[in-house]
Structure 1
């Protein structure tokens, strides 16, 4: 196994374990064993647990961004692109591994003790808000719509995680339709 393979395996394994159990509940020995690497190799790749957490957050950000954008790009109109955000959420919420937003979970678990995690979570959420704003602008919507849709999407993520069902995506999509149509008709 070369260095990039080991690194990728560690990050993927950490992501799975952190998602399933929480970050603080997973020790380095458990991660090492699950990833199939030596403790020496683990520390060669990552000097601290904090560096692994940041690599996991970077991986999640990339996965989220690419998945969301792929779903949005398939939508035929600007209005449908805005609604595709909620379609993406619905697909995600149906996955057996869905445990809520990894950034919200990481922030809740470590935000008070890790400024680096808190800042990365904020930047991730900010990038999502900017993405929604660009879609709303492309639809010709007033500026107030994007923050409303972003909050609706964030609330759906939390609700789906707590309720344990994907219904929040459908409900949020229906609310988004009302907001979008009102915004586009009252410009």
Structure 2
């Protein structure tokens, strides 16, 4: 099956046009510790707490939409894994009050691009945390051995759903998702 030229560029557009927002997001203190090779348990738990506050409302929005079986949507819910990683004494983290708009199908696709893509980076984070002896890795492990295949599957589905008419909205949603996540993670 060949992909029409109008939709095959969506992944390139997403990578290129969201790059500045993706790079800004990676400038948080947790990623700086990871880059320096010195992740701390405290920074890891803080980052996970912030991620839960974003991922939980995002997943609540996903649950309001219908997905065909090819999406494997039940596998893609991961907020509960964050709670497994946090110490039992940590109260349920607060939720992000300012989520990007996730009302339309293209908006969801853009946000999914960001959150599904984070499973790839999580694989690297898992290895770094293991080296540091930090056991909080259920969330960062993504889908384990299925991370790569599920990412490829998501990308194929995204390309199939992208049209000339909705590409701009998908890219704008991904950009907004990166921006909202950045603001939330860096908010005290």
Normalising by the residue count of structure 2, what TM-score does the alignment of the two structures yield?
Answer: 0.28
